Amino acid sequence: MATKVGTKQVAANKKAWHDYFIEEKTEAGIELSGTEVKSVRLGTIALKDAYCIFKDGEIFVKGMHISPYEKGNIFNKDPLRERKLLMHKREILELFDRTKQDGYSLIPLAVYFKGSKVKVEIGLAKGKKQHDKRETMAKKDAQREMDRTMKDRNR
């Protein structure tokens, strides 16, 4: 029996793109229980305040909220528990070294299915200052205005 290998995005962290400069993106697996996977399939996941931490040579995601599966009864886990990310040791050490630099952190950017596996896209991020956020918004507004003008001219 052939399996579907496409990707289906379940959640995205739009706030991360507003608050951080994303310099590098990496894919990682995530360790979930059965009811959590079913809940993710329903799309009941929030990444807004999620971040990654290092513990004993492993990476964990904190602040990722996966709502309890309604038919899961006693098998449901805590919605805000730490979840382990699955990566090779070499990749973890490389990310650990990069985050030790001033101002860098690891932020989950998206959760998606790749085939039947749940994957998390994490980004190496550097925090934006308030003036950087304003500058980014001004650029977006200017681009949107140019697109509108070009669209009106083509009519």
Residue 23 belongs to some domain of the structure: yes
Q: 106: domain CATH number?
A: 2.40.280.10
Residue 54 belongs to some domain of the structure: yes
Residue 88 belongs to some domain of the structure: yes
Given a cut of 50, the residues of the chain with pLDDT beneath it are 1
pLDDT given at position 46 = 86
pLDDT given at position 5 = 67
Secondary structure, 3-state, the chain: CCCCCCEEEEEECHHHHHHEEEEEEEEEEECCCHHHHHHHHCCCEECCCCEEEEECCEEEEECCEECCCCCCHHHCCCCCCCEEEECCHHHHHHHHHHHCCCCEEEEEEEEEEECCEEEEEEEEEEECCHHHHHHHHHHHHHHHHHHHHHHHHCC
User: What's the total number of domains in the chain?
Assistant: 1
Structure confidence by residue, pLDDT tens digits, 113-125: 888 888 999 998 8
Residue 81 belongs to some domain of the structure: yes
pLDDT given at position 71 = 77
Residue 1 belongs to some domain of the structure: no
pTM listed for this prediction: 0.75
Residue 30 belongs to some domain of the structure: yes
Residue 53 belongs to some domain of the structure: yes
Residue 143 belongs to some domain of the structure: yes
pLDDT given at position 19 = 81
Domain with 111 in it: 7-153
